[in-house]
Structure 1
Amino acid sequence: MLSDIKSFIKLHASYLKRGFLIFSGIFMLVAVQTYVNYTTIIEKTLQVQEQTKKVKDEISYFNNFQLKYLNSSHAKRLLAHENNILEPGEAVILFKAKKEPESKELLPAETLQNTPREERKSFFSQKISAISPEG
């Protein structure tokens, strides 16, 4: 029996190598997919934990602060003021800032702009007049 296995391996060695290579490649893909699924599950679990903490914080804020505020004796008055509803005898006071006169600056009339040729000509004439003793 052992000799049959040895002869089979010797006869089909290249096929067995290819088979093991394909087999290991498939299992590597399965391992990578399993790892990706595992990390996705961990991330989703953390997201759900963060969301539940946020919801619990909102509920505790409502129960511990906002509910007490709404049940207080001053809540009606404070809510009315938040919504700009005045009580009898109250008035709105408006403060207005004095308007300063606007100073309008007059823009100068059209300024003459020289062409590049005229600019070069005036530049060189200034340099030449600065150098020459006659000018």
Structure 2
Amino acid sequence: MFGVNSEYVDLAAEVFTLLSDPTRIRIILALRDGELAVGELAERVAKPPTAVSQHLAKLRWARVVASRQDGTRSYYRLVDDHARELVQQAVFHAEHAVDEHPRHHGTGHPSVEELSDRRSRR
């Protein structure tokens, strides 16, 4: 176990800073099921491709995602299981703030993602 003076504490804070952006969280969630092209990611997270590319560059620098080229298209995939788990746990934690019996407990209540989608459609 790491102590309070571990050299990794500051690095852990940097990880949380990287993951503190909602667009990056959405990108990680979108990549859970597999590789996507930048354009597909942009559609899924409802952001312009240029903005998504900037976020992907930061995630790639941090080794959270990896990319490959196929002609003129860039494809990205999630390669850091720790980041995937951190994001998933953060969303689960957020669900508790919205619902006393969150969906990830199997109650059938709407998830934070579903509530966010509903709000954006209004």
State whether TM-score is above 0.5: no
TM, length-normalised to structure 1:
0.17
Select the structure that is richer in strand: 2
> TM-score scaled to structure 2, two decimals?
0.19
More contact order relative to length (CA 8 Å, sep ≥ 6): 2
Larger Cα Rg: Structure 1 or Structure 2?
Answer: 1
Structure with more of its chain in helix, by fraction: 1
